[in-house]
Amino acid sequence: MAGSFATKAKEAIDVLRQEHGWRVGLLRPRILRPFPHEELRRALSSCRAVAVLDQNISLGKGGVLFSEVASALYGPNAPPLLSFVGGLGGRDLPVPELVEVFREARRAAGSGRVPPARLMFTEDDMRVTQRALAIAGATESST
């Protein structure tokens, strides 16, 4: 993952390492263009699964970082690659949600099955969004 939420991911990693003894890590690209394909491929070469957490959506492609990582790892020996999108609109990503990302990656590493891309959107987020849409709809119909 990239950006400021990587700090929260480090907290989740500490929890999983200390409480469960899991071998997990974080790769945080500092640049997107030019994308460091070779460096990323080398850094992830021993991973049994890779979870990519984007804080954006590229229409028709999912997260921008996921597309780049998938391109870099493409091939017969690629580990399971999981896509998560969270933190949209500045929403928080609590450590327990990030721990769940690592749990999903661990399940994929064990089974070889990759779950569908997941939008990390809580019920509270949905209520706020529905309220905003209702307000926007009321505003549109009154004009």
Over the chain, what is the mean pLDDT?
A: 89
What does residue 32 show for φ and ψ, rounded to 5 degrees?
-105, -35
CATH architecture of 6-141: 3-Layer(aba) Sandwich (3.40)
Three-point CA angle 83, 106, 81, nearest 5°: 30
Q: Of the candidates 40, 32, 22, which has an alpha carbon nearest to the alpha carbon of residue 98?
A: 22
Give the pLDDT of residue 143: 45
**Residues belonging to the chain:** 143
Is the CB of residue 114 less than 8 Å from the CB of residue 84? no
Strand 81-86 relative to strand 50-54, pairing: parallel
**pTM score of the predicted model:** 0.84
Among 37-41, 96-100, 133-137, whose mean pLDDT is lowest? 133-137
Report domain extents, the chain.
6-141
Residue 86 has pLDDT above 50, yes or no: yes
